[in-house]
Amino acid sequence: MAEDRYVELHVDGQIGTITLRREKQLNALNQTVLAQLNQVLDELAGQSEVRAVLLRGEGRAFAAGADIAEMTSLSPVAAGQFARLGQAVFSKLEKLPQPTIALVHGYALGGGMELAMACDIRIAAEGTKFGQPEVTLGVIPGFGGSQRLPRIVGQGNALKLLLTGGIIDAVEAHRIGLVSEVVPIEELAARGRALAEQLSGLAPKALAWVKQAVYEGAELDQDKGLAYEASLFALCFSTNDQKQGMEAFLAKRKPAFEGK
Ligand code: CO8
């Protein structure tokens, strides 16, 4: 029997859209979803013509978490393996060379919020509910929530969410810096598309190196981070796009970046 298809990749011009399609379970992340997401990310990493990636959920939710039904009877060993699988897939998402934008609506809870946090930019629809309710289930986040959330919103805000398991709405998520924009739900797709188009017009290597400077730099002390930034800055001068960008500025024309 053919495996259910829960993760779809649609490429339109320079923009790739990943859609979670497990609507009946509010896109709960089970092992199959993670494996399919992993496969799609491998495809995208090799598609240099795709310059920006949107990630969205079909139906009522972005994703309501890891699949609780699948997790209930896991042994400690299997639970550890499941956590490491999710972490590996989400790290692959974070490390994609292309910029990624999570379009979040409905619910982004537990693993769903962790998935959104592995994207570079998060845009939320009004009314979206965010939270890490793991402690209410007797567990802790296992797909990176205890690591990415403090880095994004600061330790105090993160600990409040992680310790209480409380749910916040999009306005509060915006206030603490978890999302960068909140838009009416009817405008979510168009806003995501517009931002993806804006990003796809920029120099792909510069974008990939900005991501590296931010994510890898966060693991370094400031002096080492600055040295790392300088080395990536230098690398930009080995590209045609650096010449293109600066010459276009001086000639007062729009640059045509080719990713070389
Ligand atoms: N897992 C499995 N099924 C789910 C999940 C989930 N996380 N969320 C929703 N569903 C299912 C429901 O069981 C229901 O199925 P059915 O129709 O067969 O009964 C269907 O989706 C629709 O859900 P509801 O009927 O509950 O819809 P409501 O609108 O009434 O409620 C909520 C929506 C509030 C989002 C509610 O579904 C809910 O609370 N969901 C669970 C949220 C949650 O606790 N998420 C965190 C999960 S834990 C986690 O993500 C840990 C990540 C780290 C994993 C580490 C690996 C070891």
* Mean per-residue pLDDT, 164-168: 98
pLDDT digit string (tens) for 16-51? Answer: 999 999 999 999 999 999 999 999 999 999 999 999
pLDDT band at 3 (very low <50, low <70, confident <90, very high): confident
CB 143 within 8 A of CB 174: no
Distance CA(50)–CA(15), nearest Å, equals: 5
34 alpha carbon – ligand 1 mean position (Å): 16
* CA-66 nearest atom, ligand 1: 50
* CA-26 nearest atom, ligand 1: 21
Q: Which of 43, 58, 114, 126 is catalytic?
A: 114
134 catalytic, yes or no? yes
Fold adopted by 7-200: 2-enoyl-CoA Hydratase; Chain A, domain 1 (3.90.226)
Q: Which of 134, 197, 219, 229 is catalytic?
A: 134
**Tokens coding 69:** 């039904």
Residue found by looking up tokens 């992340």 in the block: 29
* Among protein residues, the one whose CA lies closest to atom 1 of ligand 1: 67
Pocket test for ligand 1, best of 60, 68, 140, 164 (most atoms within 8 A of CB): 68
114 catalytic, yes or no? yes
Which distant-in-sequence residues (6+ apart) come within 8 Å of 252 by Cβ? none
Which distant-in-sequence residues (6+ apart) come within 8 Å of 152 by Cβ? 117, 158, 177, 178
Distance CA(150)–CA(159), nearest Å, equals: 8
Rounded alpha-carbon distances, angstroms, from residue 73 to 34, 68, 70, 77: 19, 9, 7, 11
CATH class of the domain comprising 204-251? mainly alpha
pTM for the structure as a whole: 0.97
Distance CA(173)–CA(175), nearest Å, equals: 5
pLDDT digit string (tens) for 54-72? Answer: 999 999 999 999 999 999 9
pLDDT digit string (tens) for 203-246? Answer: 999 999 999 999 999 999 999 999 999 999 999 999 999 999 99
Q: In the chain, what are the domain boundaries? A: 7-200, 204-251
What pLDDT, on a 0 to 100 scale, did the predictor assign at position 1?
55
